[in-house]
Amino acid sequence: MKLLIIEDEHKIATSLKTGLEQENYTVDIAFDGTTGFDLASTGDYDLIILDLLLPGMDGLTICKQLRSAGVHTPIIMLTAKGDIGDRVTGLDSGADDYLSKPFAFVELLARIHAVTRRPKTKPTFLLTYADLQLDPQAFLATRTQTPLRLSKTEFTLLEYLLRHTDTILTKDQIIAAVWHYDSDILDNTVEVYIGYLRKKIDRQFPALTPLIHTVRGFGYKLSTSK
Residue 67 forms part of a structural domain: yes
Would you say the pTM of this structure is higher than 0.85?
no
Q: Within 10 A of 66 (CB to CB), how many other CB atoms are there?
A: 21
Give the separation between CA 166 and CA 45, rounded to whole angstroms.
26
**pLDDT higher than 70, residue 9:** yes
Residue 122 forms part of a structural domain: no
Residue 80 forms part of a structural domain: yes
Q: Are 23 and 106 found together in one domain?
A: yes
Among 97, 117, 137, residue at a domain's last position: 117
Q: Are 157 and 77 found together in one domain?
A: no
pLDDT tens figures, 32-79: 999 999 999 887 899 999 998 899 999 989 998 888 777 889 999 988
Q: Are 112 and 139 found together in one domain?
A: no
pLDDT tens figures, 164-214: 999 999 998 998 888 876 657 777 899 999 999 999 999 999 999 999 999
Q: Which CATH number covers residue 27?
A: 3.40.50.2300
Angle at 163 between CA 171 and CA 204, to 5 degrees: 80
Q: Which CATH number covers residue 159?
A: 1.10.10.10
Give the separation between CA 86 and CA 92, rounded to whole angstroms.
10
Q: Are 86 and 144 found together in one domain?
A: no
Instruction: At 224, give phi and psi (nearest 5°).
Output: -85, -5
pLDDT tens figures, 76-95: 998 875 554 555 565 667 78
Domain limits for position 186: 127-222
Residue 170 forms part of a structural domain: yes
Give the chain's domain count.
2
pLDDT tens figures, 138-154: 789 999 999 999 998 99
Q: Are 89 and 42 found together in one domain?
A: yes
